[in-house]
Amino acid sequence: MIEVQGLGVTYSSKNEPSIQDISFSIKEGEFVWLAGESASGKSTLMNCICGFIPQIIPAELEGSIIFNGEKNLDPLQLSRHITMAHQDPETQFCTETVEDELAFGLENRCLSRRKINKRIETTLEDLNCSELRHRELRTLSGGEKQKIAIASMLVLNPDVLILDEPTSNLDPISMKEVLKAIENVRRKSHSLTIILAEHRIGDLVKQIDRVIKLNEGELTGVIEDFQSLDQDEKNSIMDYSYPEYSREDVKKGKTILRIENMNHTLDGKKILKDIDLEVEEREIIALIGRNGSGKTTLVKLISGLSEVQEGKIKIFDNVIDSSNKVPPYELGEKIGYVFQNPNHQIFENTLEEEIMFATKNFSKGESKADKWLKKITTEENLEEKTHPHTLSFGQKRRLNIYSSSPHDPELIVIDEPFSGQDHQNALMIADILDDLWKKGKTLIVVTHNLEFANKFCTRALVLKDGSMVYDGEPVDLKSISGENGR
């Protein structure tokens, strides 16, 4: 059905090819797992199969893609047969409601209103989310958004459905929901070809027919009958384990953060309820909970980035409440904060300037920053004058962590460091965080990664609907959250 022959892609902004000499074929009705680390070329390959490269995304293309005997079709021709749900549903959505989003592609195909209504109804039923039909997209949870992103492609009755890391930004429960939805789709239509790029595929492993492995833009292997492998061989492809980090020399110090009776409301909805918390020096805290459970709100309040409405925060020597606000640039001297989106926190034109950014603003000595600069340039094999926006997603994430530290803050808050990262990148981030902790920092890590929390952190806090439902050692988190996590 799909024949890829000698495919190579070089983006106009880069000198080196992103993928080269890729050849494989996919049969009708196969469930294909596209495996590979971040930046291995998975998204580039999928964009080529849909015809988006080079028509929408400019790049030099070598080789060919043959779909049902026809060579290098354009995206409009291919849109009749192939659809692709992207990693970030927020960016994929182009309307404001669930119904409009599902109707969009069908309206473009000039189907009658009766047919459009029928297709929307059936697709939502297939994905067990009929109740979402009249909801506004912005009111959906992370998992619901991803299911609607998939539904908006399935409603077009494609021959091939491509899914680009559909669970990478989701909490474990939402991840399970989405994987279950994909499993349902597969069960209902065996003629549908599915190409899934995902780091962790959970129970979907039972559905996989073919595995295509990429590494640094090259095809490193094709497994034609995945189910014929024995369990050990399968496990070797799906190794997500973390090493044991030594926490024997943990000597906690004085209390640096105390939260008393914190309540917070946003747009009429109570986001945090009666939060009490104490954090001591040198703790490594995993803050866990579903998307929308209040994790980011809590860490933003701690860092002075959101205004306290009810309750009191004592952090270092500052007391913050509704009548006493402390500007974040004052707290920033002692708190390093890493946001979720790497692009939102890169301000300078070179790595050197980016690493020095906070030290300059806080008028701190540059010697420590120099150390961090050497570390990133050596470990990542980069130049001091490299433009930060030319880095890969994983490198940007590590740069964010590196550049939050040179001004020597005592507490570092990291919001979802592993979001969209493959296992190798996640391990590299864990090593940087371990290094920071060994240098005496206290860490608060907002994460969905229960394995990391268990192996790396000294304490776990679990938020559920704004309430703290667990505060203790990071053991047995899977049963506390009621799910098998990532």
Partner 1 sequence: MEDKINPVVKLIALVLGAVMVFLIDSVLMLISFVLLLVLLKVFYEVKGRFGRGITFLVIAIFLAQIIFVPEGEVLLDLRLFKVTLGAVENGILISGRFFSLITMSWIFVGTTEPRNLSSALSNLGVPYRYSFLLIIAMRFAPIFQFELSNVQQAQKIRGLKIDKDLKGLIRSVRYTTMPLLYSAMSKVNTLASSIEGRGFGMYKKKTFLYPIKFTFWDVLLVASLFILSFEIYYLNQLL
Number of residues engaging partner 1 in binding (CB under 8 A): 70
Please give the helix or strand (H or E) that residue 258 lies within, else none.
Answer: strand 255-266
Tell me which residue of 454, 453, 20, 449 sits closest to 199, measured CA to CA.
Answer: 449
Phi then psi for 213, rounded to 5 degrees? -105, 130
Stretch that binds partner 1, among 48-56, 168-176, 177-185, 213-221 (CB under 8 A): 48-56
- How distant, in Å, are the alpha carbons of 14, 158, 207, 209 from that of 29? 35, 12, 11, 9
Rounded CA separation 138/228 (Å): 43
- How distant, in Å, are the alpha carbons of 162, 201, 397 from that of 218? 20, 22, 24
**Of residues 283-302, those binding partner 1 (CB under 8 A):** 300
Closest CB to partner 1 among 335 and 453? 335
Closest CB to partner 1 among 221 and 329? 329
Q: Is the peptide bond before 417 cis (omega within 30 degrees of 0)?
A: no
Rounded CA separation 130/283 (Å): 45
For partner 1, the binding residue among 70, 131, 221, 329 (CB under 8 A) is: 329
Least distance in angstroms from the C-beta of 110 to partner 1: 5
159: exposed, middle or buried (C-beta count within 10 Å: 0-12, 13-18, 19+)? middle
Stretch that binds partner 1, among 215-223, 239-247, 332-340, 457-465 (CB under 8 A): 332-340
Q: Which residues contact 59 (CB under 8 A, 6 or more apart)?
A: 9, 10, 11, 12, 18, 44, 53
Least distance in angstroms from the C-beta of 358 to partner 1: 4
Closest CB to partner 1 among 54 and 63? 54
Least distance in angstroms from the C-beta of 389 to partner 1: 5
Closest CB to partner 1 among 86 and 448? 86
Per-position DSSP letters for 208-233, written without gaps between them:
--EEEEEETTEEEEEES-GGGS-HHH
50 binds partner 1 (CB under 8 A): yes
Least distance in angstroms from the C-beta of 452 to partner 1: 24
Closest CB to partner 1 among 133 and 273? 133
Q: Assess contact for 394 and 346: CB atoms under 8 A.
A: no
Closest CB to partner 1 among 13 and 236? 13
38 binds partner 1 (CB under 8 A): no
Q: Assess contact for 449 and 486: CB atoms under 8 A.
A: yes
Least distance in angstroms from the C-beta of 223 to partner 1: 28
104 binds partner 1 (CB under 8 A): yes
Least distance in angstroms from the C-beta of 97 to partner 1: 8
57 binds partner 1 (CB under 8 A): yes
113 binds partner 1 (CB under 8 A): yes
The total of other beta-carbon atoms located within 10 Å of residue 330's CB is 13
Sign of the C-alpha dihedral, residues 367, 373, 379, 381?
Answer: negative
**Of residues 343-372, those binding partner 1 (CB under 8 A):** 343-347, 357-358, 361-362
169: exposed, middle or buried (C-beta count within 10 Å: 0-12, 13-18, 19+)? buried
Q: Which two tokens stand for residue 89?
A: 């549903």
Stretch that binds partner 1, among 111-119, 124-132, 180-188, 224-232 (CB under 8 A): 111-119
**Of residues 74-103, those binding partner 1 (CB under 8 A):** 75-76, 78-80, 82-84, 86, 88, 90-96, 99-100, 103
Residues in the chain: 486
The total of other beta-carbon atoms located within 10 Å of residue 177's CB is 22
327 binds partner 1 (CB under 8 A): yes
**Of residues 150-169, those binding partner 1 (CB under 8 A):** 152-153, 156
For partner 1, the binding residue among 65, 308, 331, 450 (CB under 8 A) is: 331
Per-position DSSP letters for 41-70, written without gaps between them:
SHHHHHHHHTTHHHHTS-EEEEEEEEETTE
Closest CB to partner 1 among 88 and 451? 88
128 binds partner 1 (CB under 8 A): no
Residues that bind partner 1 (CB under 8 A): 47, 50, 52, 55-57, 75-76, 78-80, 82-84, 86, 88, 90-96, 99-100, 103-113, 116-117, 138, 152-153, 156, 300, 303-305, 327-329, 331-333, 335-337, 339, 341, 343-347, 357-358, 361-362, 389, 403-404, 407
